[in-house]
Amino acid sequence: MQFYLLNPFIGRVLGVLTLDAVAYGLAAVTTWFYLAPPMTIQAYIGSIGVGGALTLLSLYYCDVYRPAVICSLRRSLPSLIGATGIAFALATFTGFALSTTSRTIPLISHVAGFAFVFILAGRLGFRLLSSNPRLNRNVLIIGASELSKDIADNVRNYPNLGFEIIGFLSDEADFTFTGATFAGYPILGPVHSVEKAVDKFAVDKIVVASRNRAEFFPADALLRWKVQGLSVESGVSFLERITGKIDLAELRPSYLIFADGFTVRRLDEALIRLLDVTASAFALLLASPALLICAAAIRIESPGPIFYQQTRVGKDNRNFEIMKLRSMRQDAERHTGPVFANQRDARITRVGRVLRKSRLDEVPQLWNVLRGDMGLVGPRPERPEFVEMIANHHPHFRLRSAAKPGVTGWAQVRYSYVNEIEGFAEKLSYDLYYMKYRSLGMNLLILWQTVKTVVLLRGL
């Protein structure tokens, strides 16, 4: 639950989703009075309910609710057009399947047209409101560091977050002259002038991102403002909330030790395990026809086993044998030994490429979930050879073993496939974030996003 309360994007996404649902409802009402369809109000409401679900689902699959799209009208418009087209096609197919009336096409066309206009109008209204500086919270950042710059860049990239950076306070010698700027924002003065800055600029939030030990730290002033209700937050925590990952560059062991999170309630643990068992058993049963087709395709294309097992590192650094559909040649590592796969890997077969894109090669891992080696959601299980290699470059990498590895995970849905040591830092930042906020609710969100990844073939 803490993940949803702290993430500043959640409120905006839910707000836009609500606006879209209201816009679709207005489109349905307008169509009813404009077209007067020859059906009972009960039948019309049922049809509209199906159409509304298809519309919102199409909007989601066209990335309309991604934060980067929400805050950009230029990116929203093609997504809205694509989603409207998909929803129209699905509604038309469903309409013909459930109804024989000749008014199906005109009815769906009017609802889709009105819905597009109303949704676009709602998006324009949301964009105007979210970009209004008067409705944003004024943020004052203490310190001019790399962390401060990262915060400024992210707030600038997502203007619909509701934050407005008014400037920085810094004791650095480079910023003592009048008119000095940092990361595109003004330096408002030295750190000890924090009280004057708070009063002058009507500050709503102070973010402490100083990394200079010699810099003055206004502890008394910050404490006084804190008890009076002003929001005061560390830069690491603030950046974590707006990016959905833990910044490894600024990470200190003390932050992981004393920060909230990294604990899961027993009830959540039990519910997560119940979800793992029931969902994986059902998914295996449902996927069995597809697995038979995949098995035949693998057998026809290349010699070798259909399934293969490989040693992976699980919870508490215990090794287990993972099961997957074979997507590479049988002798893929005969001459190279263990190496990372990449997008144009010649070892991947044609069938294997399709399996990886659709994530069908990972379906047999559900057997590992049933056995308890893995969960549906968790950090990606790595090979022992790679764990040693990665941990030498990123010491915090071993912390991932505190949780069960997963078939999917926060890092998998938020970041692309990694095939080099340097890229694992980014994946690790997402894995640690997941471990900090791990809960049943977050697992359900990741599973929902994974379905989208599979449908849109966004795997390797």
**Residues near 382 by Cβ (< 8 Å), separated by ≥ 6?**
312, 313, 390
> What is the residue whose two structure tokens read 């295996």?
284
Report whether pLDDT(47) > 70: yes
Distance in angstroms between the alpha carbons of the first and the last residue of the chain: 31
What pLDDT was estimated at residue 335? 59
What pLDDT was estimated at residue 69? 80
Where is mean pLDDT largest: 58-72, 116-130, 227-241, 347-361?
Answer: 227-241
What pLDDT was estimated at residue 343? 59
Both tokens assigned to 4: 């949803």
Report whether pLDDT(27) > 70: yes
CA dist list (Å): 7 to 44, 433, 439:
38, 12, 14
Range 76-82 contact pairs with CB under 8 angstroms and sequence separation of 24 or more: 76/123, 77/120, 80/116, 80/119, 80/120, 80/123, 81/116
More reliable by pLDDT, 130 or 4: 130
What pLDDT was estimated at residue 451? 86
If you average pLDDT over every residue of the chain, what do you get? 85
pLDDT digits (tens, 9 = 90+) for 65-78: 887 787 677 778 88
Least confident of 108-117, 175-184, 203-212: 175-184
Hey, where are the domains in the chain?
Answer: 2-130, 133-243, 266-455
Average pLDDT rounded to a whole number, residues 146-173: 87
163 sits in which H/E element: strand 163-169
What pLDDT was estimated at residue 459? 62
What pLDDT was estimated at residue 99? 57
Q: Give the model's confidence band at 342: pLDDT under 50 very low, under 70 low, under 90 confident, else very high.
A: low
pLDDT digits (tens, 9 = 90+) for 372-398: 999 999 999 998 888 888 888 888 888
Taking each helix axis as running N to C, give the angle between helix 41-61 and helix 104-130, from 0 to 180 degrees, rounded to the nearest 10. 50
Q: Give the model's confidence band at 341: pLDDT under 50 very low, under 70 low, under 90 confident, else very high.
A: low
More reliable by pLDDT, 215 or 342: 215
Report whether pLDDT(160) > 50: yes
More reliable by pLDDT, 304 or 311: 311
Report whether pLDDT(138) > 80: yes
Q: Give the model's confidence band at 304: pLDDT under 50 very low, under 70 low, under 90 confident, else very high.
A: confident
What pLDDT was estimated at residue 4? 44
More reliable by pLDDT, 355 or 281: 281
More reliable by pLDDT, 99 or 123: 123
Least confident of 26-30, 139-143, 179-183, 353-357: 353-357
Buried b (16+ CB within 10 A) or exposed e, 398-436: ebbbebbbbbbbbbbbbbebbeeeeebbbbbbbbbbbbb
Least confident of 36-45, 161-170, 263-272: 36-45
What pLDDT was estimated at residue 1? 44
**Residues near 73 by Cβ (< 8 Å), separated by ≥ 6?**
123, 124, 127
Q: How far apart are CA 63 and CA 80, in angstroms?
A: 9
Q: How far apart are CA 21 and CA 23, in angstroms?
A: 5
What pLDDT was estimated at residue 149? 94
pLDDT digits (tens, 9 = 90+) for 78-88: 888 988 888 88
pTM of the model: 0.81
Average pLDDT rounded to a whole number, residues 131-158: 86
Q: Give the model's confidence band at 431: pLDDT under 50 very low, under 70 low, under 90 confident, else very high.
A: very high
* Percent of the chain's residues with pLDDT above 90: 36
Residue 453 and residue 459 in contact, taking contact as beta carbons nearer than 8 Å:
yes
Q: Give the model's confidence band at 231: pLDDT under 50 very low, under 70 low, under 90 confident, else very high.
A: very high
Least confident of 22-26, 60-64, 364-368: 60-64
Fold observed for domain 133-243 = Rossmann fold (3.40.50)
Residue 144 and residue 175 in contact, taking contact as beta carbons nearer than 8 Å:
yes
Residue 366 and residue 283 in contact, taking contact as beta carbons nearer than 8 Å:
yes
User: What's the Rg (C-alpha) of the chain?
Assistant: 26
